[in-house]
Chains A and B, each alone.
Chain A
């Protein structure tokens, strides 16, 4: 029996031509797209003396990049200070003072002082008993009883002060986590109209929290934005909004409190959003740090691209530029580091010293720019009455760590 093998069908020239034409077509298309988007070739232009002077003044340096840094290591919560107390017919103010003295915390009770016989007589009194209650849980409970609100004075941000009787500042439900307490403050939706066209309004949803941290934790910085793992409404919409570059940056406003901060959960508010946020789960981020360290850079006017790294904190000196009598120190830090989130802190990273050992006065500054993970900032120094810069001092915190304060809330209103 003969075995007849199947003969391959001869390949049609038409199909070969078709595939070839398709390939050529794609190549032409790809070439055309590349031609459209390719960067322009660098050109060399010879400038006259006056043009060169003008061009130097207007030169915009290219965006800076830095290597990606690993996430900040996590810190261990030292645990809450536990309070046991048994007071009969005490005012909330007396009880708060007692709690603070046991926790060795500095308070300013002037605004809620019960001064005078009548104030003493009319002050509300309670029997107060706590057994192993955390410091902040006890203080917040007493604030609720006495209609008090903790706040940080602008001129003494590390001291716990209290105000009385403001109904809008009443404290919402809270969650105690280690040495911290997270208070749920408000849920706000905002619809902003498009004023010049038919586009629908932009929609924004935020849940406001207040984070209280025991002073013994001594935070370096408390992030103003919460990190979210879950945010859903009853219709199953995922409400988590991707983090933007400017979400957790603060410019101006002076030093921030190290024991309390308003923290926002930034959410999406789709057109078909439900009536309730069924689950909101995430954490607040508290940065803690060790003592600062200073690196000295000699003859800074000649230096460019000097990297400084202290235990995970990274900064690069890009350049020191002289314009008239002013010196502009241009730096770049890691975009996600808590060291480079606030304008005031960035302005204090560098000091410029002249040949006589005299410190230059800061005359301004800026921040923004760079390509992630680089975040540029600059400090301007006045050179009036100074000699040439001899040293640049760069001071950064060491051992920066992140303390995560988890929270979870369910069945929150979603107002429209």
Chain B
């Protein structure tokens, strides 16, 4: 009897303890989702593939590699060596140590972005998607930025492009001025990454949806009359760019999964450019050069009171060029522009203003010094002055419809 009492007392103590500990939270289960992969984004018969240069740029770079418990950064270095692309941690990790995992994988003659995704998904690495003035660089998300599982979401890899879904939500809204009606929509946010050789200079913020269907066969293609469907072009900074898709939520028998969303993103892809080097730019003024039928003038480079530098360029309208198209292109294209100095300094740049009179567009670009590892640094009096400015002027730009196809997405 007494023994039973002891046992009961012990049980009560232990149960009370577990009650205080609370209900254990279910562990987060992260699974790599499905990828739709096609080595070719465009059929050989597609008009855009007719020039050999375009065909080369718009096909996936195929890579082979074998990793055995390899640290992720070593695996990326291997890919960088094989492709010639620069793959770096954004802002050198902000000075923090990166905490990526290791990779074991065999990649046999697969598109570059498939290899990248394999490493990212296995080693918990995200890709940095906010763009950068060093446009051809592929940047990894520093591990302290979070989003280490971002590349495990559903992706579409088509030729030199990879589109990954980053957010999907269903929004139900009642406007209280007309409370009898509920407006329902499904919103997808995607990021598209381009191989540097096929990087767009402009892209449509809203991808075009050609097919969208839920598991019950309901069409979710948005109405063409939806005022939120826009095709305006945005300028691109770097190899990544984002898009928003608004789908229709089925009114009857909606499914729990989206079976397929297929579409394309209108873009302008730079297939050729010509570098123009301006030596000792702080002293140089009013130098002009013509690229094809386009004249560009370097006006000046000035040092600002805050230690930054501002370059000014004028872009002139071609003889038969439509004024509106010229202005749109001149303002919406972010040219690759590099400033350098004798101290191995790298500079972050951004567009900082401009104006137009119809015949020419004048634009300013501001530069902030980084150290040789790419980190942003405070302005220092000891930093050497810039001694070279290089502007990459696009000489061959093609209109391209970048395809994407995402399958088996959750429909909340």
Contacts and interface: CB of A to CB of B under 8 A. Distances in A.
Nearest to A172: B176
B306 interface: yes
B178 to A, nearest CB: 7
A323 interface: yes
B412 A196 contact: no
A170 interface: yes
Given A172-B177, A361-B306, A188 B29 contact: no
Interface stretch (B131-139, B161-169, B260-268, B323-331): B161-169
B31 A382 contact: no
B177 A193 contact: no
Interface in A11-34: 12, 14-15, 18, 22
B230 interface: no
Contacts of A12: 2
A234 to B, nearest CB: 16
Contact of A170 (B178, B307, B379, B410): B178
Contacts of A46: none
B172 interface: yes
B174 A326 contact: no
B176 A361 contact: no
B10 interface: yes
A384 B306 contact: yes
B306 A324 contact: no
A136 B333 CA distance: 47
Contacts of A170: 175, 177-178
A188 B95 contact: no
Given A195-B33, A196-B149, A382-B307, A415 B412 contact: no
Given A18-B6, A168-B175, A201-B410, A193 B169 contact: yes
A325 B378 contact: yes
Interface string A384-415: 11000000000000000000000000001101
B52 interface: no
Nearest to B96: A58
B275 to A, nearest CB: 31
B182 interface: yes
Interface stretch (A82-90, A179-187, A217-225, A283-291): A179-187
B305 A196 contact: no
B179 interface: yes
A189 interface: yes
A413 B29 contact: no
Contacts of A172: 175-177, 179
Interface string B183-206: 010000000000000000000000
Interface string A336-365: 000000000000000000000000010100
Contacts of A122: none
A37 B371 CA distance: 40
Nearest to B177: A170
A190 interface: yes
Interface in B270-323: 305-307
Contacts of A363: 306, 379
A385 B305 contact: yes
Contact of A325 (B13, B173, B307): B307
Given A199-B29, A325-B380, A193 B409 contact: yes
Nearest to A169: B177
A197 interface: yes
A188 B174 CA distance: 6
Contacts of B175: 168, 170, 172, 185-186
Given A201-B412, A326-B378, A385-B305, A415 B173 contact: yes
A194 interface: yes
A171 B152 CA distance: 44
Contacts of A325: 307, 378-381
A192 interface: yes
Most chain A beta-carbon neighbours within 10 Å: one of B28, B153, B172: B172
A191 B169 contact: yes
B377 interface: yes
A363 B267 CA distance: 35
Interface residues of A, number: 41
A190 B154 contact: no
A244 to B, nearest CB: 17
A10 interface: no
A415 B305 contact: no
Contact of A199 (B28, B95, B171): B28
B305 A361 contact: yes
Contacts of A242: none
B174 A413 contact: yes
Contacts of A187: 173-174, 176
Contacts of B153: 195-196
Contacts of A173: 176
A186 B173 contact: yes
B388 interface: no
A269 to B, nearest CB: 10
A195 B406 CA distance: 12
B410 A384 contact: no
Interface string B78-113: 000000000000000001000000000000000000
B207 to A, nearest CB: 17
Given A18-B6, A197-B28, A324 B378 contact: yes
A49 interface: no
A188 B172 contact: yes
A198 B378 contact: no
Given A199-B29, A324-B379, A194 B306 contact: no
B370 interface: no
Contacts of A186: 173-176
A196 B168 CA distance: 11
- A195, A361, A363 — which one has the most chain B CB atoms within 10 A of its CB? A195
A415 B184 CA distance: 9
A18 B171 CA distance: 60
B80 to A, nearest CB: 26
A83 to B, nearest CB: 23
Interface string B106-149: 00000000000000000000000000000000000000000001
Nearest to B178: A170
Contacts of A416: 172
Contacts of A413: 174, 179, 182
A415 B182 contact: yes
A187 B10 CA distance: 52
B77 interface: no
Given A168-B175, A171-B177, A195-B168, A15 B2 contact: yes
A195 B178 contact: no
B373 to A, nearest CB: 13
A187 B172 CA distance: 8
B338 interface: no
Which 4 pairs between the two chains have the least Cβ-Cβ distance?
A: A172-B176, A201-B412, A170-B177, A415-B172
18 contacts: A187-B174, A190-B170, A191-B170, A191-B412, A193-B411, A195-B167, A195-B168, A196-B32, A196-B149, A199-B26, A201-B170, A323-B378, A361-B306, A384-B307, A384-B379, A412-B176, A415-B172, A415-B184
Interface of A: 12, 14-15, 18, 22, 58, 168, 170-173, 184-199, 201, 323-326, 361, 363, 382, 384-385, 412-413, 415-416
Interface of B: 2, 6, 10, 13, 26, 28-33, 95, 149, 152-154, 165-179, 182, 184, 305-307, 377-381, 409-412
